Amino acid sequence: MPRSRKSLSVLIALLLVVVAILSACSKSGSSPASENSSAAPADSASSSESSGGEGPGEPITLRMTVWGAPEEVAAYKSAIAKFEAKYPNITVKLQHIPTDYDTKLTTMVAGNDEPDIAQMESASIAFPLAEQGKFYNLQDFLSADSEITADRLVPNITYSLEPGNVIGLGPGPETFVLYYNEDIFKDAGMAPPPARASEAWTWEEFVEAAKKLTIDNKGRNASDPGFDPKNIKQYGVNFGTWWGNYSNFVYSNGGDFLSEDGKTFALNQPAAVEALQKIADLINVHHVAPSPVQAKNIPATNVALQTKKVAMVVDGQWASAGLAQSKVHYNVGALPVMKQPMTTVVSGMFSMFKSTKHPQEAWELMKALLDPEAAIDLLTAGTWMPAYRDWYTEPALIAKWTENLPSRPSGYKDAVIDVLLNNSHQTPTGYVKNFNKIMDIVNPALDKVWLGQQTAQEALDAIAAKAQAQVQGRRDVNP
C-alpha cells in the first residue's frame, strides 16, 4: 500500500476512535445537577434519560428515612415499588426509624451519614438543620419542573426557611374537625353540627349544644338546675388542650402566636387571650369538657364516641382512620366559629439534603411520594389527605378517596375538603421561629389556665417577658 494511502487510513481510524470516545462520554454519567450539588436542577422531562425512565442509565441508590405507623410505612413501600418500576436503574433504600427519630437523624447528620431525602417535623428538626444550610431549596425544582408546580399543591403544605427558600413539602396534609356521635344527637332530639363552614355554629351555639349533651350520673344536663359537675358520665365535648387544637380558635378569633411583623409575642394579646379563655371556660365554667387531668381517663376519639363518654370531639381528621374501624355511628361537622371559619393545617414534610449525589433523581422520588395515587391506601383509610389540589376539586379524583368509605362520612366534603381549600391556616411551627422554646414557656402557663388556677390573661402576662426573649421573628416575612 502506498505510504500516502496508509497514512490517510491511519488518520481516519484515529478520528473514528476519538468520535467514539467523545460519544461515550456524552452518554454516561449523571445529570448536570447530579455532578454538582449546587447546580440548578434540570427539568423533569430532560431528567428521564439520566434517571432511567427512557434508557438503562447508571445504577443509582437513594436512601430515605421516615417515621410512622406500619400502614404508613407500607404506603411508602408501595410508592417506592412504583418508582423503581418507572426508573429501573434506581434502588431506593427505605430506613424506618420508629422511635427517637429526631435524635437518631441528628446523629446521622453529625456523622456525615445523611440520607438523600428525609421525613421531617418542622419545628423540632427541619428548621434547625435548614438554618445550617443542609437542604436544597426546592423552589428551584418546582420552578423548573413541567409536571408539578407550587400552584398544584394544596395550601399550607410548603415549608420555607424564608420567602422563596422552600425546604420541605408535606405529602399528607391534615386539618381539624368536630366529630360527633350521631346516635347521641338523635336521642337528644338535637340537630347535629352543620358541615358547611358558612353555616357553622357560633361559639355560643356550640357551648349551648355541649351543655345539653353533658349528662351527670342522675341524667341531668349542664343546663338543668341541680346539675352535678363532679359526677359527669357523658361530656358534651372532649377538647384536647395542645397547641394544634387551640390554634384553630386563636386564628378563628383573629389572633396569632406572633405579631404580623414577627417582633412581638402575641398569645397574651386580646384576640388570642379571648379564644384561650373561652376554651378554658368549657372546662371550668360550663363543665362541658374534661380537664387535662380528667381527660387522662377519656379514651381515644373512636372509643370515647363509641362508649358515649363524650358526644363531640375536636380532633385532627386523622382520627377518621380509627373511627372507620369502630362500630360507632359518627359524622363530622365544621369547627365552631369565633369570628371566621378556620382550621390549622399540619403535616410532616420531606426535605432533600444537599449532600445527595443525585439531586434530580431524589426530586423525582419526592414527586412520587407526593403523588396521591402512591398514598391511596392512606387516603382511603382516613390517615392522610391528598397533597394535590385537583384531588379536592375534580369529582372523579374526589371520589377515589371519599366515596362509599367508612372513613369519609357524609359531612366530610363540606367540613374538611372545602375548609382546607378556603379557610385554612399554616401551622405555627411552619412560620414561628424558635417555636419550641417559646412553647416551653407557654405550656406550663396554660396548664394553670386549663386547671382554672389563673385566667388566660394573668397566666400569659406573667410569662410574656420570658416568651418575648425567645422571639426571633417569622419565616413568612422578609427579614
**Residue ranges in 346-455 assigned as alpha helix (H):** 359-370, 376-381, 390-393, 395-402, 412, 418-422, 435-450
Cell numbers at 340, concatenated: 371566621
- Alpha carbons within 13 angstroms on the beta-carbon side of residue 147 total 14
Distance between CA atoms of 100 and 95, rounded to whole angstroms?
13
pLDDT score, position 154: 94
Residue type for 85, please? A
Distance between CA atoms of 269 and 251, rounded to whole angstroms?
12
pLDDT score, position 56: 63
Is pLDDT of 21 > 70? no
The answer to whether 382 and 302 are in contact (CB under 8 A) is no
pLDDT score, position 78: 87
201-220 pLDDT per residue, tens = 999 999 999 999 999 999 99
Residue type for 325, please? Q
Mean pLDDT of 51-56: 47
pLDDT score, position 20: 40
141 phi, psi to nearest 5 deg: -70, -45
Binning pLDDT at 50, 70 and 90, where does residue 63 land? Answer: very high
Instruction: Indicate if 176-345+433-469 has the same CATH topology as 39-172+347-402.
Output: yes
Look over the chain and give the mean of its residue pLDDT values, rounded to a whole number.
89
Identify the weakest region by mean pLDDT among 8-12, 222-226, 291-295: 8-12
Q: Which residues contact 57 (CB under 8 A, 6 or more apart)?
A: 49, 50, 51, 87, 89, 90
Which has the higher per-residue pLDDT, 22 or 178?
178
Q: Taking the chain, what is the end-to-end CA distance rounded to the nearest angstrom? A: 78
Mean pLDDT of 404-418: 95
Q: Which residues contact 340 (CB under 8 A, 6 or more apart)?
A: 252, 254, 423
Cell numbers at 150, concatenated: 407550587
Q: How open is the CA angle 83-85-89, to the nearest 5 degrees? A: 90
Question: How many CB atoms neighbour CB 237 within 10 A?
Answer: 24
Q: Which of 445, 397, 441 is nearest to 417 (CA)?
A: 397
Binning pLDDT at 50, 70 and 90, where does residue 74 land? Answer: confident
Architecture of domain 39-172+347-402: 3-Layer(aba) Sandwich (3.40)
Distance between CA atoms of 459 and 449, rounded to whole angstroms?
7
Which has the higher per-residue pLDDT, 55 or 296?
296
Distance between CA atoms of 401 and 28, rounded to whole angstroms?
42
Beta bridge partners of 425: 344
Which residue reads 394573668 in cell numbers?
Answer: 458
Residue type for 214, please? T
pLDDT score, position 57: 79
Distance between CA atoms of 322 and 324, rounded to whole angstroms?
5
Q: Which residues contact 81 (CB under 8 A, 6 or more apart)?
A: none
**Residue ranges in 55-114 assigned as alpha helix (H):** 70-86, 101-110
246-259 pLDDT per residue, tens = 999 999 999 999 99
Mean pLDDT of 422-436: 96
The answer to whether 359 and 36 are in contact (CB under 8 A) is no
**Domain map (residue ranges) of the chain:** 39-172+347-402, 176-345+433-469
Which has the higher per-residue pLDDT, 30 or 203?
203
Distance between CA atoms of 379 and 171, rounded to whole angstroms?
11
Beta bridge partners of 162: 165
- Strands 158-162 and 424-426, by their bridges, are unpaired
Distance between CA atoms of 391 and 379, rounded to whole angstroms?
11
Question: How many CB atoms neighbour CB 219 within 10 A?
Answer: 9
148-190 pLDDT per residue, tens = 988 999 999 999 999 999 999 999 899 999 999 999 999 999 9
pLDDT score, position 14: 39
Question: How many CB atoms neighbour CB 27 within 10 A?
Answer: 9
According to CATH, the topology of domain 176-345+433-469 is D-Maltodextrin-Binding Protein; domain 2 (3.40.190)
Distance between CA atoms of 143 and 30, rounded to whole angstroms?
21
